[in-house]
Amino acid sequence: MKKIALPKSLKKGDQIAIISPAGAVEASQLEKGIEMIRNKGYEPVLGKHLYSSFSKGYNYAGTEEQRIQDINWALNDNEIAAIWASRGGYGCQHLLESIHLKNFSENPKWYIGYSDNTVIQSYLLKMGFASVNGQTIKTSSFGVTEESYELIFDILEGTVPDYSLESHHFNKAGSCEGQLIGGNLALVYALLGTDYSFKFKNRILFIEDIGENFYVLDRMMMSLELAGVFKKIKGLIIGGMTNMGNEKENSSYNESFDEFAYQLISERISKYDFPTVFGFPNGHIKDNRPLIIGGNVKLEIKDKVTIKFEN
């Protein structure tokens, strides 16, 4: 497996581009995040269409052409040292066939986001570049811990995370090492069978999701099963499963780590023996701690769980 080089560390004064590759966002929703970047000693540079809006069955952050223009600018402008997505939502898939990396390939930079941004991160990994699955600039309705952002800045400045977790009763003990892939389950699922899908063989897969009916969760897990994903991966990490099921089905499960969603996942992978972690703090949750997609990670599951990235 090809080792993916991590982008170079940022230094104070570097420019961080903020773009909206998917859903529309209002300026008031980004004020705190933009100020945080300034307070950390970096210069936020706003994409031309950051606050654009285009409605076509969904409120996008501009037309496809406008969003493509912004992402290609951010990826290839040599003055930009990192790229931070304003939010997720839906729309990143529209951009995949039009992304180009001419200057980016010579000057790789961190791309930060999660949720719908999973497809951008899959594309970057396919091209040989790591990225940060972490909190966007826009905070969600349930808020974001200060540590969630601090850990992202640590990565930007050259310190990769080590995590230690309490055990979960659905966990499968064991240890493995490999390249971390994945992100939002709905997008991992949506990319199956395309040229932009993650490569699963000998990788460690991370998944999280929000707002899906339980039968949809099961359907996505079945699709991964039928695609042979679980025969290929070395390990599995499951993050937040938030607001799963409809109101009637889910009246007692409105939590970040949905117990019934975890049960469904556990049953679907019961015939496999790869190490599995439930309850990792990443996803559409308040304590959204970053993961490096494309990073080499050591996973060990005993009485406690340790997850260590290599520089």
Q: Is the pLDDT of residue 42 over 70?
A: yes
| Per-residue model confidence as pLDDT tens digits over 191-231 | 999 999 999 999 999 999 999 999 999 999 999 999 999 99
pLDDT of residue 140: 76
Under the banding of pLDDT at 50, 70 and 90, the label for residue 141 is confident
Residue 34 lies in a domain: yes
pLDDT of residue 2: 65
Q: What's the whole-number mean pLDDT along residues 124-140?
A: 95
**Claim to verify: residue 50 and residue 174 sit in the same structural domain:** no
At 243, which CATH number? Answer: 3.50.30.60
Residue 226's domain comprises 162-309
Considering the domain boundaries, does residue 224 fall inside one? yes
pLDDT value of residue 253? 46
Neighbours of 164 (CB within 10 A): 10
Any domain includes 9: no
**Number of domains forming the structure of the chain:** 2
Supply the Cα-derived Rg of the chain in whole angstroms. 18
Examine the domain organization and report whether 185 and 116 are in the same domain.
no
Report the CATH number that the domain containing residue 25 is assigned in CATH. Answer: 3.40.50.10740
Please indicate, yes or no, whether residues 30 and 137 belong to a single structural domain of this protein. Answer: yes
So what's the pLDDT on residue 251?
44
- Identity at 5, one-letter amino acid code: A
Query: What residues does 298 pair with on adjacent strands?
Result: 177, 308
Q: Could you tell me if 257 and 194 lie in one domain?
A: yes
Torsion, Cα 93 154 162 4, to 10 degrees, reads 50
Residues 142 and 248 in one domain: no
Q: Is residue 262 over pLDDT 70?
A: yes
Whether residues 143 and 190 share a domain: the answer is no
Q: Indicate whether this model's pTM tops 0.85.
A: yes
Note whether 125 and 230 are same-domain residues: no
Evaluate whether 5 touches 106 at the Cβ level (below 8 Å): no
Distance of CA 295 to the CA centre of its chain: 13
**pLDDT, tens digit (0-9, with 9 covering 90-100), for 157-190:** 999 999 999 999 999 999 999 999 999 999 999 9
Q: How high does pLDDT run on average in the chain?
A: 95
Is residue 1 assigned to a domain? no
